[in-house]
Chain A
């Protein structure tokens, strides 16, 4: 069975500092990996994805993530955090043969960026 783990319930960072939100996965085969962000009382917004190719992927709002196959990780990073980045972040995995590209989500990590 496939699973996604986000080991930190919350990450606190000061504005202007780099941030990392961790994600590890346990799957067989070659997964597709995603990051989504959720603001209060809103749906999820797509940030970035890894399908194939370059392990470092860049996404929306200055975020990036690195696919590390040996460590089965896909950590989300940003060089300089903004207060407006404070939100709930979800890592997710899918497979090429998943009907409708169905996602399996991690538990979510709340990012708090303090001024």
Chain B
């Protein structure tokens, strides 16, 4: 089946620094990818839709200047958390659509900002 990878799986950074998270579709191409944020014991919150070759579409309330998304190729989307603060600590998950309507999810990235 289709595989989506994320890197890193976990990261600890200091407040004020930036962190880049990569999402790759390993054996298929994805013109669209999605980025989610998940708080403990809660559902996934869609942050943005990443579009290859064009700007990302952000959900209401998500700061586009803080969460920079770049869909560099048909297999790679990156999420950069700029000037991270402790409240940005969360579990970040990406997904890419498969050929038969389902989404394939990455394993997630645990971000801790100290």
Contact = CB atoms under 8 A, between A and B. Distances in A.
> A and B, one complex?
yes
A100 B97 contact: yes
A107 B21 CA distance: 25
Contacts of B100: 49, 51
B47 to A, nearest CB: 12
Contact of B42 (A36, A44, A108): A108
Interface residues of B, number: 27
A97 B33 CA distance: 16
Interface in B12-39: 31-34
9 nearest A-B pairs in the assembled complex, by CB-CB distance: A100-B32, A43-B105, A101-B97, A44-B105, A43-B107, A107-B43, A108-B43, A100-B97, A43-B108
Interface of A: 32, 34, 36, 41-46, 49, 51, 88, 90, 94, 99-103, 105-108, 110
